[in-house]
Amino acid sequence: MQLHWRSRPALRQRKAPMCDKDDEKPAEPRRGKNTTPTAKKQNLTMILIVPPPVSNLGCGVIKVRPLILAALAALALVKPAAAQIRVDARIQMNSGSCSGCDLSDKAMNGVRLNNANFSNSTFNNSNLSGGSLDGSDLSGAHFRSALMYRVEGNGVTMPRTVFEDATLTEARLPNSKMADANLSRADLSRATFTNSDFARARFDSANLTDGQFQGGQFQGAYFPGAILSDSRFDGANFSGADLSTSQGLKQAQLDVACGNEKTRLPVGLSLPYCDGVRVEMAEHGHDGLSAEMTQAAERLDRAISDVENLLAASGPGNRVLRTRLQRIHSDLVQTKAVIAN
């Protein structure tokens, strides 16, 4: 008896049907008990977990319903409940409060914070360009490397606020209170800070080119390496300020400002004294000086006294003479301070 082996026919691979764009139609829903209106109401959680329906598999095209895509995108943005509230460009706050909040690395351009309290909050590396800070309290807030192009606000309270490396180009913040603020390396070019208080503020290597600072109060402020080209300081008070290493400052800018004998200026520039400044010679002891240096200090004392007498005798109408005498007086007082130290 002979056995005949018959090989099993090879399984034929199922070819994917060819289709054109006109054939790409969504699959028809199956008719059955699950197609009732009640069954179509799905829970949002199920939509996010159950794999999305597909159609036209034969054409190699997977189509995911737009609603499912939107739901999945929303799921990707979900953060733990402990995370901070997300802030976007549409935020508007009137008389609100978020003191001490961390809003770093946020896209907040166009933000509206009117009469809001954001004291001691952090906005490092955030974008607030085009926003409004009208009447808000930002005392002690941090804006390191923040982008604040054309930000606006009147009467903003910002003492002790940190603006290191921040961009405030073309900002309009008149009547701001910025005493003891740190604006080191900040860009304030073409900005407007008229009638603002910058007492004891730091402007280390800051750019104030073409800025508007009329009526500013800069008592005791520091400007090491600051660029002051074409800035307006009409009516500004620089009493006790240090501008000795600033750049781009011209005599015409100082002629419309004022200071006192403690104001330090670049060599060759002078500043008229502010009205009401009492010219009094600072007392410096001569202890510890050599005999020769003691005599030099005493000669300086006499020169300072003579200039003070001339200032007292000159009338307020002779502005040119008074300005020159004030420059001489300031130079003598500062020279004596160097000798005494």
Q: Give 30-59 pLDDT, tens digit per residue.
A: 444 444 443 333 333 333 333 344 444 344
Residue 196 inside a domain? The answer is no
Within a domain: 181: no
Assess if residue 193 is contained within a domain.
no
Structure token digits, residue 153: 């606000």
pLDDT score at 47:
30
Tens-digit pLDDT string for the chain (341 aa): 343 444 444 444 444 444 444 444 444 444 444 444 433 333 333 333 333 444 443 444 444 444 433 443 443 344 333 333 344 444 555 556 889 999 999 999 999 988 999 999 999 999 999 999 999 999 999 999 999 999 999 999 999 999 999 999 999 999 999 999 999 999 999 999 999 999 999 999 999 999 999 999 999 999 999 999 999 999 999 999 999 999 999 999 999 999 988 899 998 888 888 887 665 555 556 667 788 888 888 888 888 888 888 888 887 777 788 888 888 888 888 777 777 66
Question: Is 306 a domain residue?
Answer: yes
The pLDDT score that the predictor gives to residue 277 is 63
Residue at 255 is within a domain: no
Indicate whether 286 belongs to any domain. no
Distance, in Å, from the CA atom of 334 to the CA atom of 167, rounded to the nearest integer, reads 35
Extended strands (E) in 108-192: 112-114
User: Which residues is 210 bridged to in the sheet?
Assistant: none
* Count of the separate structural domains present in the chain: 1
* Confidence (pLDDT) at 167: 98
DSSP result, 251-286: HHHHHTSBB-TT-B--TT---PBPTT----PPP---
Q: Which of 170, 168, 171, 120 is nearest to 146 (CA)?
A: 168
| Residue 71 burial class via C-beta count within 10 angstroms: exposed 0-12, middle 13-18, buried 19 and up | middle
For the question of whether the overall pTM of this predicted structure is more than 0.95, the answer is no
The beta strand positions in the chain, using DSSP E, are: 92-94, 112-114
Residue with tokens 């049907």: 17
CA distance 265 to 242: 7
How far apart CA 124 and CA 163 sit, in angstroms, is 9
Question: For residue 295, is it within any domain?
Answer: yes
Quick one: tokens of 306? 């003579």
Nearest Cα residue to 210 out of 190, 195, 227, 192: 190
Structural domain boundaries enclosing 330: 291-340
Q: What does the alpha-carbon distance between residue 266 and residue 246 come to, in Å, rounded to a whole number?
A: 7
Q: Is residue 188 part of a domain?
A: no
